[in-house]
């Protein structure tokens, strides 16, 4: 998937890249909204199962997601729009 994306993105004009970025962000945001409840429940179950609480896990996850999107979309984290948080 990543190779396909990078080929498409590399061959796109600037206007096409902006459109691809907007589409990718829209799809990712929708996916994040759907994952939020699952992730929070998973983290709670994992915490109970292993007895370890990771401080600021939602913040770590949100930051990791920003870094992945920044790399994937080839734009600085500071240029990303405000993203849906796992806490939303």
* Sign, CA torsion 85/76/10/18: positive
Whether 85 contacts 58, CB under 8 Å: yes
| Residue 69 tokens, joined | 């999107």
| Mean residue pLDDT across the chain | 93
pLDDT at 20 over 90: yes
pLDDT at 83 over 90: yes
Q: What is the pLDDT of residues 54-76, one digit of tens each?
A: 889 999 999 999 999 999 999 99
pLDDT at site 10: 92
Q: What is the pLDDT of residues 32-43, one digit of tens each?
A: 999 999 999 999
pTM value is 0.85
């Amino acid at each position: 998937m990543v190779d396909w994306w990078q080929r498409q993105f590399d061959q796109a004009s600037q206007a096409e890249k902006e459109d691809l970025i907007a589409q990718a962000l829209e799809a990712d945001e929708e996916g994040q909204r759907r994952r939020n409840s699952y992730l929070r429940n998973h983290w709670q179950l994992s915490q109970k199962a292993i007895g370890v609480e990771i401080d600021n896990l939602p913040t770590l996850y949100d930051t990791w997601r920003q870094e992945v999107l920044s790399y994937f979309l080839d734009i600085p984290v500071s240029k990303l729009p405000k993203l849906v948080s796992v806490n939303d």
